[in-house]
């Protein structure tokens, strides 16, 4: 079975932000997201794979037999947009999503151009809900 690429590493989070981001705005937003996600999750920021900043950890196992570890919350300051990794599709989340502000959604994440485009109270509520549901599902 193939090993997952998204494993926890020892790379420095702030060094990664400095090297990976292409604008001062994205650096500021990334530092603010680290502060916010550490506060909400209660976990220190860690690098996961080459480009994801994650908070906390849980172990998953699919019916296919694939299993691994993943962060409870995370983000990546990608060139096109900041990718926010939160658990999606839960009951009551639709209201939080609509309150979020200016964003687009992918299959497993929310994309924002800049942090000021979104309602931080809605983001905090979404992060708390994501952590709770992930912990309930996986026993994290």
pLDDT (0 to 100) of residue 140: 64
Q: What are the residues facing 54 on neighbouring strands?
A: 46, 74
**SS3 assignment, position 62:** coil
**Residue of 88, 136, 140 whose CA lies nearest to 111:** 88
CA atoms within 13 A on the CB side of 23: 11
pLDDT by position in tens, the chain (length 140): 445 667 899 999 999 999 999 999 999 999 999 999 999 999 999 999 999 999 999 998 888 888 899 999 999 999 999 999 988 777 778 888 889 999 999 877 999 999 999 999 999 999 999 999 999 988 86
Domain-wise residue ranges, the chain? 13-138
Largest Cα span, the chain: 43
CATH number for the domain running over 13-138: 3.90.1150
Structure tokens at 1: 């079975």
pLDDT (0 to 100) of residue 55: 97
**Residue of 76, 102, 77, 73 whose CA lies nearest to 88:** 73
Give Rg (Cα) of the chain: 15
pLDDT (0 to 100) of residue 103: 95
CA distance 105 to 124: 17
pLDDT (0 to 100) of residue 92: 77
CB 21 within 8 A of CB 30: yes
pLDDT (0 to 100) of residue 3: 56
CA distance 139 to 19: 35
pLDDT (0 to 100) of residue 5: 67
């Amino acid at each position: 079975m193939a090993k997952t690429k998204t494993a926890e590493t020892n790379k420095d989070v702030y060094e990664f932000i400095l090297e990976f981001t292409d604008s001062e705005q994205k650096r500021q937003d990334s530092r603010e997201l680290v502060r916010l996600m550490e506060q909400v999750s209660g976990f220190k920021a860690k690098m996961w794979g080459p480009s994801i900043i994650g908070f906390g950890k849980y172990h998953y196992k699919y019916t296919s037999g694939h299993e691994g570890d993943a962060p409870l919350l995370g983000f990546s300051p990608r060139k096109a947009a900041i990718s926010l990794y939160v658990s999606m599709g839960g009951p009551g989340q639709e209201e939080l999503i609509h309150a979020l502000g200016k964003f687009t959604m992918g299959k497993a994440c929310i994309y924002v151009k800049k942090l000021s485009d979104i309602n931080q109270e809605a983001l905090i509520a979404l992060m708390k809900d994501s952590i709770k549901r992930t912990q309930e599902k996986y026993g994290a």
